[in-house]
Chains A and B, each alone.
Chain A
Amino acid sequence: MIVFSPSELLAILPELLVMTAGCLVLVLDPVLSASRKEWLAYLSLGTLGTAFVAAYWFMGTPTQSIFSGLYTLDDYGTFWKLLLISVSALIVLLAKANLREEQIDIPEFYAFILLSLAGMMVMVAATDLLVIYLGIELMSISLYVMAGFKRFERRSMEAAAKYFILGSLSSGILLYGISLLYGRTGSTALGAIKAGIATLPAADPILLLAMTLLVVGFGFKVSAVPFHMWTPDVYEGAPTSVTAYLAVASKAASFGAFVRVFMEALGGLKANWQLLLLAICIATLILGNVVAIVQSNIKRMLAYSSIAHAGYALIGLVVADVAGTAGVLLYLALYAFMTLGAFAVVSMLRKGGLEGDEISDFTGLAKRNKWAALLMLLFMVSLTGIPPTAGFIAKFYIFMAAVNAHMTWLAVLAVIFAAVSAYFYLHVIMVMYMREPGGVSGSPGQGVRIAVSPAITVVLAIAALGVVLLGLFPNPIVKAAQSAILPLP
């Protein structure tokens, strides 16, 4: 029997808190009367706040391997946990504003956010492939449910079904890769796999197959081309707060696990997976940015944009040195603010009981709600990567890493497609500022209502402040990302 000490339980305090609160929400939901169910949102928020403090408490403490090497407490995991907890808190707020509008104001939603967050935290902190897999499954299964939360709407059902089927497939592929690795190296622990690989010949076909399968599995989770097929449909169909959660938190957590597994366990095969990821990265950059141009639905457009951004982040992993991995962390942290903000604005637009999620619904938004339009402009500019916003800083560090690793051509390719991306981000600005809102019924932008609530105001304020302040004064987050990668080999 495995014995563990209380100090080990203390080390996973944030995870425990989130998990417990998730279960508590599920239990309390049927007990509480309808008027008090709002408390569950506050309970979730309070827990997330406490978990954030608890996780922050461990920042800077020496790396500590716990539960017989299955799990670790290091700055790398803590960085991601802090990011994921903050994002989840914003999503809870977003959901609080959004769910009532969508008529799916069911507190179980918060339970699923907390449970999937627990899965994500496990993903980024585990040092054993099976535990990572458990984290991925906990995250994914909660997300499948959340994607289908609007169970009376076909699009949402379709999204959930599609996500579930393709997600299960990718999990299977990932598991198959893990089993092959286990077969070849005799372990599922990252450190032991690394040691095992060192004793094998570099061109061992089974190892290469296992590596490829892991790339496929993680590629699916971060929606890299060609494993991105599910992304536009799921992003479009899922409720907007879930889409935002998928685009930000799930992607960040997957990158967290991706980077750790490949840097720690598969470091010996670096030359091989760098090449494979390079091909995927280029395809992702091209397809994401080009296909986004023709989208008329803003959630689909943002889905392709999120694919493209995965491509930029992948550059860091292709480079795979100190600057590159720090770049990935920085990129996703900054990307979180702008994407969350953009989705928050999208969720404000209502059209006859539904979401106004066509780009044409943004027509003349500047005339009808200048703050919403201004914030959307800010997020679009940031997603394009224009200073002085966070998006520029994110791209700047990724390009620095690429040039530093003598991959200037990759950086050039990336900027060319960043210029392409300007077209579709600008299109949204153009629609908001340069077209008049239609007066007649049926004309673009007609009948769109902007639902403002305190919760969404808070979300937008935090996202906008993050985009502007981290764009102007990026020192703290850059330093955090650079010290977070120190535990990685």
Chain B
Amino acid sequence: MLIARFLALRLAVAVPVVLGIVFLTFMLIRIGHQDPVAMLAGPLADASTYAMIRKELDLDRPLLQQFVTYCAHLLHGDLGRSWQGGAPVLQEIIAHYPITLELVVLAVGLASLIGIPVGIRAAMRPNGRFDQVTRFGALTAFSIPTYWMGLMAILVFFYFLRWAPPPMGRVSLEVIPPPVVTGSVLIDSLISANWAAARSAAAQLVLPVGCFMLLAMAPIIKQTRAIAIEVFGSDYMRFARASGFSRRTLRRMALRNSLPPVLTFLGTELTSLLAAASLIEYIFSWGGLGQWGLNAILQGDFAVVQGYVLTLALSAVIVFLVVDLAVLLLEPRSHRRA
């Protein structure tokens, strides 16, 4: 009952947030300097062609009227069509979203698996050698621009060493891709027992996931360390230490008590990386939601940009909801707060 109330409250808060984002995206993109009509009409068009395209795109009416129509369509699950390809935006989101999700979930998952234990270990002896090395490493990884890191990874592992496969999509041209079930080539290959495609998909994932993982891992280590230092300094941990518990047990206790705030941070990290995926996708020709959204922004494809931003907003709402639920389960005391 408590969880149901909690969920209802969160969803009630999310609705105006999403509506606000939809409104802002709709207005901001239109009051900017981009004119998709000029782009679609081409340099040879005359005034009548401009007017015709403007009408076709529903851009000849007042902004608020356009927005009301857009919202009415949204309520029916119609996100419009791409102005440049004519494909329904919803269909494109369904096709592109799992591609990005595969990349981001793997990166954040691996970054958490490594970053959380490293952060806790570093917190056990603040300013010790391990802590200093870790902090230096995390700061370095965090300071490197994603774009540059991707390019360097391609240069070293693909161009010079020839270890990595060509940064040209999610599966090699030489293998037959699996039928689409989940949208993740790796999972779909495993489901269909297409081992050649699975091998190729795994190889294609290594560099982009590696770069993304490094980017994600640095703040996870930093945040976990800060939280764990606080936990280690708490009364119950001091009592545990005084009681003679082993270092391993202490680490496990610290992990258990650090998890709720770390999980909340991971939620933030996951949503921000979903938005940041565009650059990694761009470098590795990944073809996911980020690359699709970035192209749309550059080409003034308003319907796609709106769909892209709405997807990111809804993803954030869902991720935070799941994280809050997980925290509720991990931290019974937070029931009362909820």
Say whether A associates with B: no
